Amino acid sequence: MRDECLKANEGYAASFDKGGLPMPPGKKLAMVVCMDARLMPDQFLGLDIGDAHVIRNAGGIVTDDALRSLIISHKLTGANEFFVVNHTDCGMLTFEDETLRQRLTQETGADASGLQFYTFKNLEDNVRAQVQKIKSSPFLSDDIPVSGFIYQVEDGRLRQVV
């Protein structure tokens, strides 16, 4: 796979003409999106290279690290709108933290009791909770619009929750 990706990069780089784009996101947008390979936020949101900061992790969870990235995006590069994007058929709905912690400890012999995976049982509730984490940060302006969505992997539609 590595060789295929490197060959594809050669083709991409051969016609690359976006090296002069500024560092700040052109649309002043930052988003936290699930890492699921079926989600291509640039495509389903009509964005181009340089338009938005995209922070991806399992479940689209606003962890401390994701919040750190949003703060940097806002305070240092001018992002003034945030999205949270979860999706249907999310793997984070299929297991519980404790189950994976036990498996890891059994398989590796290392103590996994301190790991958090942030699983959840309801997509809508999770989107609302992530939006609230952003809105409640004392390091972000109260007037930043924060929207929460569920991307439907079945048909490519985006449904607004918050």
Q: Which backbone phi and psi does 151 adopt, to 5 degrees?
A: -85, 130
pLDDT value at residue 125: 98
User: Where are the chain's structural domains?
Assistant: 25-160
What is the DSSP annotation of 54-113?
EEEEGGG---HHHHHHHHHHHHHH---EEEEEEETT-GGGS--HHHHHHHHHHHH-S--T
pLDDT value at residue 9: 97
Give the whole-angstrom CA distance, residue 132 versus residue 158: 20
pLDDT cut 90: percent of the chain above it? 100
pLDDT value at residue 156: 97
Asked if residues 53 and 82 have their Cβ atoms less than 8 Å apart, the reply is: no
Confidence of residue 8 (pLDDT cuts 50, 70, 90): very high
Pairing of strands 29-34, 52-57: parallel
Question: CATH for 25-160, among 3.30.70.250, 1.20.190.20, 3.40.1050.10, 3.50.50.60?
Answer: 3.40.1050.10
